[in-house]
Chains A and B, each alone.
Chain A
């Protein structure tokens, strides 16, 4: 081999050049017909909700796979809108505490935008924390990542409207969602669609519509030609989308309605010629309906279905899509999506019910994103919140701040393409892990378990005694640790790892000492000294477990 060949290899020329190969996944989209046990039920709930607990897991086990899938996709009413809970920046004269601000204009004086942002952030975290067996919030986050926005649009009413549009269609029709987002006031502002005018087009949205939201970017095929679309299409489609703008941004006028309006005088009425990549279609003047007509033209390309199926796969299964997966999973799913007129639910249900999804090769290799990492242990270990709703909002909002510091803030995605973990080769999920994030994650679990996560006057802390009281046999340390590990980790630990955890719980002591100590506590639960001794041992155990590399996986 000559040196160029060696170096060509080193440059990593192939698309999927990463690291090593696995034995191929030979299963496919046929319905899974194997055993339905804790491993399978937990896998489904880990990927579709923000963490199963003992109760949801038991329910899924009892009712079986099909009924659980049905429940995941059961229509739910929209949640109550966010309430106004803090007045740090001063009162909002237009909104009483406990009321929602979503339809309220801004006051003439004073800045209430930060208060409203916090309210929405808190409310969102609350939804993720309290959701039971439903895939809706998981899909909202998926679409939020797909149609990413950030807080440069500084009016939380816009974010609320945007996420509500998504929530209403979470597993609905992708084509319709794409139409709605194209003229969503928040998106119009975020990608400058509101400044896109005849004679002076702003092509920011048109480019992302093709490159990120629909057909995706294919290989370079010639000057300005990316196989799936060309520069000509970006320019022509920007002209198609001229004339739309938003209203009521940061308005103080109670009469002004937040919506998107079409202004014919700013719309380019000349024909728009698309490239051969779209069959050379010419978009004639359809005025207010032209945007929807354009989305229909784009969705006539099968590549739209393949692109979104790859993204769904990376969100719900694993980032690596080898040739086998492309052929046996992605392409058939994409065909189903086309056959189902771009309805998401039936296609996603096939994936979540498939042999492929339950293959052992796909269980556990997803590195948790910060929201999963932060909310997961709270949900899974039943960490209790205060009763008072304002205090819940305070804590929820602080959890949002924490995820923000970990580079994953809801409503503030750093890149238009979404979070790097879902598109950036070759690292994908591994983008979440670095020396900073590892320190943050480690600090967070220590606070949650030991010190209490205390952002203000209110503390959120895991109660390990309450948690182990729900287990089968907390008196027997081996059984208890094995059950905890099974509940909280995606794959079984090895005996040596279980032993190491037991060493943290009862260092250098025989098993019966735990039985004795914990038994003492059960006998005198009000004895503070005994309780603290047992609790502190359990805290050590949970800190040890939450710091394991395995705990970062889902």
Chain B
């Protein structure tokens, strides 16, 4: 192999990555050893993010079998007939198009986290996707991505000096399209885009010149660096593609399948990339989500079938290649959709939605409760959030990438709560089942007027209780403290709240339960 064309660094001095200073101290120096000493950037785990663009209708994807009476009342025109639903557990089913989830679940290689979202749900595609990509709260705007920050914590100064002898491989790859905002670091995006790993031609780099301290110089620096980096990483990718091989035939027509095929190919060829981002659009099903004359057809069924076929091939390929233990795949989407369908046989933007995980190291379980659905559901109501998406991210960082918990809190948020979504594999933090007694949450009266009494039981634990309104906005925090073991009661004043539906979310240790409460007018 010829000597790789590593980037010339310091002399060219890309303006895009000049050191930045906080309180007069260069952050790179600071961050280096002091903050991030006990972490492991060199495990061989790979994360594949599957972005379902548009807001997947979670309620027609992961279907609460014990809520069919309510479902018939609020989304009768798009509901999947019960006899067609594939069951995962006694009370949880899956859309018949998404058969891969059941088969992998039965093999112990897939799991579901119910109702993932964030407080104060934003129903704009763009803003909500920004929140999911950055891992910020709804009230903050962060310009870095959650994986970008994770990578920044090891690879200071990136992109300056990368790739190099020690780190010749791209840290992240987006298959086609634009670089993924999940991988946006402080100074540059960590993801390289690859459409066809076999057709990467070297680019002419041209004669560089000085970079003026102007916007022009800044953009020029970015371009020069992108060209040089494309060449340097391009060699690595082509080499991996040539060394790798797929073992199964993927569906030809599906964009998602093509992307996953190349992911498997590159990993099998020895690429050391930690994050791959694949995506599929079309989930914004305001209309014609199902066919007028048949809820088993329509756009959503086609989309889920495409996901199912692609994942079936991918997971089988990984198993054949002996890579099952190294690769974890996770779906995400900007939000779920409304509980009530509209007259266009579709659904509008909603709140939380289930998230799916695939891989041999996934804890094969449905984490969380089914939503409660009845005919009283209002037009604006989405599925209330049970799990904060940052807890899912953080648990993956912790278990999969071996990031320390304190570090996870720094990268995401201080209230991080660990979720046992991974198991089986050696690198995984122990998540032995503890016999936790139920919370036995009760609300009385419900419906209520001036207020209601909330009661629950717990072991000695930190308890966080939050009241949300029907669109997922936080009404107020009811409690956040450590309680002694036993049964607890709490009076919740609703006198100042307008009539409508509300949700009480109790988070006690790792247990979470959401209860719907209606205030009468």
The judgment on whether A and B are partners is yes
Hey, which bits of chain A sit against chain B, CB under 8 A?
1, 3-7, 9-15, 17-20, 22-23, 191-192, 195, 197, 199-204, 207, 211, 217, 219-220, 222-224, 226, 231, 234-235, 318, 320, 360-367, 407, 414-417, 420, 423-427, 429-431, 433-439, 442-443, 490-491, 493-494, 496-497, 499-501, 543-544, 547-550, 552-553
Contacts of B23 in A (CB 8 A): 1, 5
Q: CA–CA, A424 to B180, complex, Å?
A: 11
Contacts of A426 in B (CB 8 A): 143, 184
Which partner residue on chain A sits nearest B406 by CB separation? A3
Are A217 and B127 also in contact (CB < 8 A) when A407-B177, A420-B178 are?
yes
Contacts of A366 in B (CB 8 A): 219
**Which of B143, B203, B206, B471 is within 8 Å of A439, CB to CB?**
B203
**Is B11 at the interface (CB under 8 A from chain A)?**
no
Which partner residue on chain B sits nearest A319 by CB separation? B215
**Which of A10, A14, A416, A548 is within 8 Å of B31, CB to CB?**
A10
Q: CA–CA, A442 to B199, complex, Å?
A: 13
Are A433 and B30 also in contact (CB < 8 A) when A202-B344, A439-B200, A442-B203 are?
no
Q: Is the CB of B216 within 8 A of A438?
A: no
Q: CA–CA, A279 to B136, complex, Å?
A: 31
Q: Is the CB of A19 within 8 A of B187?
A: yes
Q: Is the CB of B348 within 8 A of A365?
A: no
- In the complex, how many angstroms separate the beta carbon of A151 from the nearest chain B beta carbon? 13
Identify 8 new A-B residue pairs, CB closer than 8 A, beyond the known A11-B136, A365-B215.
A220-B120, A224-B473, A361-B214, A423-B126, A431-B179, A436-B194, A442-B201, A553-B223
**Is B152 at the interface (CB under 8 A from chain A)?**
yes
B21-73: which residues lie under 8 A (CB-CB) from chain A? 22-23, 25, 27, 30-31, 34-35
Q: Is the CB of B179 within 8 A of A434?
A: yes
Contacts of B219 in A (CB 8 A): 364-367, 429-430, 553
Q: Is the CB of B179 within 8 A of A202?
A: no
**Is B220 at the interface (CB under 8 A from chain A)?**
yes
Q: Is the CB of B218 within 8 A of A365?
A: yes
Which partner residue on chain B sits nearest A553 by CB separation? B219
**Is B261 at the interface (CB under 8 A from chain A)?**
no
Q: CA–CA, A483 to B23, complex, Å?
A: 47
Contacts of B203 in A (CB 8 A): 438-439, 442, 547
Q: CA–CA, A173 to B177, complex, Å?
A: 35
Q: Which 10 A-B pairs have the closest CB atoms?
A: A223-B473, A500-B207, A365-B215, A12-B143, A200-B343, A549-B223, A195-B344, A494-B209, A434-B193, A547-B204
B140, B209, B348, B475 pick with most chain A CB within 10 angstroms: B209
Q: Is the CB of A497 within 8 A of B149?
A: no
14 A-B pairs, CB-CB below 8 angstroms? A6-B31, A6-B35, A9-B20, A13-B140, A204-B286, A217-B127, A224-B473, A431-B178, A433-B223, A435-B226, A439-B203, A442-B203, A549-B206, A553-B220
B189-214: which residues lie under 8 A (CB-CB) from chain A? 189, 192-195, 199-201, 203-204, 206-210, 213-214
**Is B259 at the interface (CB under 8 A from chain A)?**
no
Q: CA–CA, A324 to B498, complex, Å?
A: 43
Q: CA–CA, A494 to B207, complex, Å?
A: 10
**Is B227 at the interface (CB under 8 A from chain A)?**
yes
Are A20 and B186 also in contact (CB < 8 A) when A1-B22, A11-B149 are?
no
**Is B7 at the interface (CB under 8 A from chain A)?**
no
- In the complex, how many angstroms separate the beta carbon of B206 from the nearest chain A beta carbon? 4
- In the complex, how many angstroms separate the beta carbon of B339 from the nearest chain A beta carbon? 14
Q: Is the CB of B215 within 8 A of A442?
A: no
Which partner residue on chain A sits nearest B349 by CB separation? A207
**Which of A424, A497, A553 is within 8 Å of B181, CB to CB?**
A424
Query: How many residues in B have their beta carbons less than 8 Å from beta carbons of A?
Result: 91
Are A220 and B18 also in contact (CB < 8 A) when A23-B213, A202-B342, A439-B200 are?
no
Contact with A along B98-129 (1 / 0, CB 8 A): 00000000000000000000001011111100
Contacts of A18 in B (CB 8 A): 143
**Is B222 at the interface (CB under 8 A from chain A)?**
yes
**Which of A6, A407, A547 is within 8 Å of B22, CB to CB?**
A6
Are A434 and B214 also in contact (CB < 8 A) when A6-B27, A496-B207 are?
no
**Which of A10, A192, A207, A430 is within 8 Å of B222, CB to CB?**
A430
Q: CA–CA, A455 to B35, complex, Å?
A: 56
Q: How many A-B residue pairs have CB under 8 A?
A: 235
Q: Is the CB of A9 within 8 A of B22?
A: yes
Contacts of B281 in A (CB 8 A): 414
- In the complex, how many angstroms separate the beta carbon of B130 from the nearest chain A beta carbon? 8
Which partner residue on chain A sits nearest B34 by CB separation? A3
Q: CA–CA, A423 to B125, complex, Å?
A: 13
- In the complex, how many angstroms separate the beta carbon of A413 from the nearest chain B beta carbon? 12
Q: Is the CB of B149 within 8 A of A427?
A: no
Contacts of B474 in A (CB 8 A): 223
Q: CA–CA, A493 to B208, complex, Å?
A: 10
- In the complex, how many angstroms separate the beta carbon of A449 from the nearest chain B beta carbon? 12
- In the complex, how many angstroms separate the beta carbon of A227 from the nearest chain B beta carbon? 12
Contacts of A223 in B (CB 8 A): 120, 469, 471, 473-475
Q: CA–CA, A424 to B34, complex, Å?
A: 33
Q: CA–CA, A426 to B187, complex, Å?
A: 10
Q: CA–CA, A364 to B219, complex, Å?
A: 9
Q: CA–CA, A341 to B219, complex, Å?
A: 36
Contacts of A19 in B (CB 8 A): 15-18, 20, 187, 218
Q: Is the CB of B209 within 8 A of A497?
A: yes
Q: Is the CB of A439 within 8 A of B230?
A: yes
Q: CA–CA, A363 to B215, complex, Å?
A: 9
- In the complex, how many angstroms separate the beta carbon of A198 from the nearest chain B beta carbon? 10
Which partner residue on chain A sits nearest B135 by CB separation? A11
Q: Is the CB of A195 within 8 A of B213?
A: no
Are A427 and B184 also in contact (CB < 8 A) when A195-B343, A231-B380, A367-B223 are?
yes
Q: Is the CB of A497 within 8 A of B207?
A: yes
Q: CA–CA, A148 to B412, complex, Å?
A: 34
Q: CA–CA, A553 to B136, complex, Å?
A: 33
Which partner residue on chain A sits nearest B184 by CB separation? A426
- In the complex, how many angstroms separate the beta carbon of A447 from the nearest chain B beta carbon? 13
**Is B400 at the interface (CB under 8 A from chain A)?**
no
Q: Is the CB of A435 within 8 A of B200?
A: yes
Q: CA–CA, A366 to B153, complex, Å?
A: 31
Q: CA–CA, A348 to B100, complex, Å?
A: 55
Q: CA–CA, A22 to B212, complex, Å?
A: 10
Q: Is the CB of A543 within 8 A of B204?
A: yes
Q: Is the CB of A363 within 8 A of B216?
A: yes
Contacts of B471 in A (CB 8 A): 223-224, 231
Q: Is the CB of B342 within 8 A of A195?
A: yes
Q: Is the CB of B152 within 8 A of A202?
A: no
**Which of A11, A192, A201 is within 8 Å of B144, CB to CB?**
A11
**Is B138 at the interface (CB under 8 A from chain A)?**
yes
Q: Is the CB of A549 within 8 A of B224?
A: yes
Contacts of A200 in B (CB 8 A): 342-343
Q: Is the CB of B380 within 8 A of A544?
A: no
Which partner residue on chain B sits nearest A425 by CB separation? B143
Q: Is the CB of A550 within 8 A of B220?
A: yes
Q: Is the CB of A443 within 8 A of B201?
A: yes
Which partner residue on chain B sits nearest A5 by CB separation? B22
Q: Is the CB of A496 within 8 A of B20?
A: no
**Is B234 at the interface (CB under 8 A from chain A)?**
yes
Contacts of A424 in B (CB 8 A): 126, 181
Q: CA–CA, A223 to B179, complex, Å?
A: 31
Contact with A along B255-298 (1 / 0, CB 8 A): 00000000000000000000000000100001100000000000
